[in-house]
Amino acid sequence: MLRHLSCSNVPGPLSHLAVLDLSRVLAGPWCTQHLADLGATVWKIERPGSGDDTRAWGPPYLKDAHGRDTSEAAYYLACNRGKHSVAVDFTKPEGQAIVRELALQADVLVENYKVGGLARFGLDHASLAVPNPRLVYCSITGFGQDGPSAERAGYDFIIQGMTGFMSVTGERDDLPGGGPQKAGVAITDLVTGLFAATGILAALAERERTGRGRHVDACLFDSAVAMMTVMNLNYLVTGRAPGRLGNAHPNIVPYQVFACADGHLILAVGNDGQFAKFCEAAGVAAWAADPRFARNADRVRHRGTLVPMVAEVVRTKRQREWLELLEPLGVPCGPINPIDRVFDEPQLAARGLKLDLPHPLAGSVPQVGFPLLLDGQRSDAAMPPPLLGQHTAQVLKERLGYDDARIADLVSRGVVAA
């Protein structure tokens, strides 16, 4: 059985790297949390007094041992594990100097300001690449560094609508509840964070050969368009824009949610052999030989006929009966779990996905671990999401050589918070 170890026991593969994180909210912090989970030292630069916007995005907030709300919003806690919070006001010249000093020591810088927004502080790629040509500088924006929309602010909800995601998500317009629907999580932010991390790791790998960094340009718009994958090609090869099918699949049948006797069942028949097994188990073996349904292409063409027939059969049994009947046969199926049941899943416990890290305000903070294993080991950051400015003095002393008097002076003038 695999042992899932944290990076407190096993150094992560990025433990030799330092990341300067000038990002806020979700896409950037999601990216840098992955780098932290893989072992990188991440310095999260925050505004003194307020910090990352998401610190105030509650309730819910983390509760202390007495059940009282702390200052730490759940939203913030979701994507800032393993980082060092350094509270610096870089609108002030001395604050800019601090960030530039850290950039000289960093391998990676991640920012998600508007295009050109950091240039007036001397913290843009052009300004920092000269003194540190090895720096991998990643800019995350709504629409990228160029093009007619480059200056626009990017919001996940807007991007979901613009890039076609909502045109294929939601129930059909002619059915109850029909109409466009956004995802239940900020999917384009999260995907952009993953693409950004991929670009950063590619640039770091190239740097091993060239000795020079890159400017990684990641944006929500490009990432969301790329994310549409099959839907893009369904359109590009036919010239017809796909529409909403609710929980059904445009290319596979039956592959959707069906009502059973006591709830709902996801039936995800992926090939003709699985369809034949389903038909045999459901007592309708003749369907698999019917020329309208024998091949997936036929089932897609006769979707309107077959789906009501499957729905009628599925309604005859309880969800648990179907799961116990179909799973041993290798017919893909499953329940629709609310989040509380997800965390009761034995598989989640076996994989060690839920973490509890020590926290200075609450005793401990729950986390969901990094979703990859390397040689059977899970490389989760051992540090909880930091309090605002928790590591300012430590980083200024250990990395920049500032003494207590200098730090106290900077605090008194509002340049840093410690």
**SS3 for 266?**
strand
Say whether 61 sits in a helix, a strand or coil. Answer: strand
Segment-wise mean pLDDT, segments of 10 residues, the chain, 418 residues: 45 95 98 97 97 96 95 97 98 98 98 96 97 98 97 95 96 91 97 98 98 98 97 97 93 96 96 97 97 97 97 97 97 95 95 95 96 88 94 98 97 96
**Per-residue pLDDT, 381:** 80
Q: Are 249 and 173 in contact (CB under 8 A)?
A: no
Exactly one of 37, 89, 189, 222 is catalytic; name it.
Answer: 189
Query: Around 198, how many Cα atoms within 13 Å sit in the side-chain half-sphere?
Result: 9
Q: How far apart are CA 250 and CA 1, in angstroms?
A: 39
Q: Tell me how crowded residue 361 is: count the other CB atoms within 10 A of its CB.
A: 16
Domains and CATH numbers, the chain: 18-227+345-417 (3.40.50.10540), 255-337 (3.30.1540.10)
Count Cβ atoms below 10 Å from residue 385 Cβ, excluding itself.
27
Q: What is the pLDDT of residue 410?
A: 97
Catalytic: 189? yes
Quote the CA–CA distance of 214 and 169 in Å, as a whole number. Answer: 36
318 has which bridge partners? none
Residue 314 three-state SS: helix
Give the CA count within 13 Å in the CB-facing half-sphere of 42. 32
Three-class DSSP category at 347: helix
Q: What are the C-alpha distances in Å from 358 to residues 40, 112, 144, 250, 287?
A: 20, 29, 38, 46, 57
Q: What is the pTM of this model?
A: 0.92
pLDDT given for residue 2 in this prediction: 39
List phi, psi (to 5°) of 259.
-75, 130
Which positions ≥6 away from 368 have C-beta within 8 Å?
78, 353, 354, 355
- Of the candidates 213, 189, 188, the residue with the CA atom closest to the CA atom of residue 202: 213
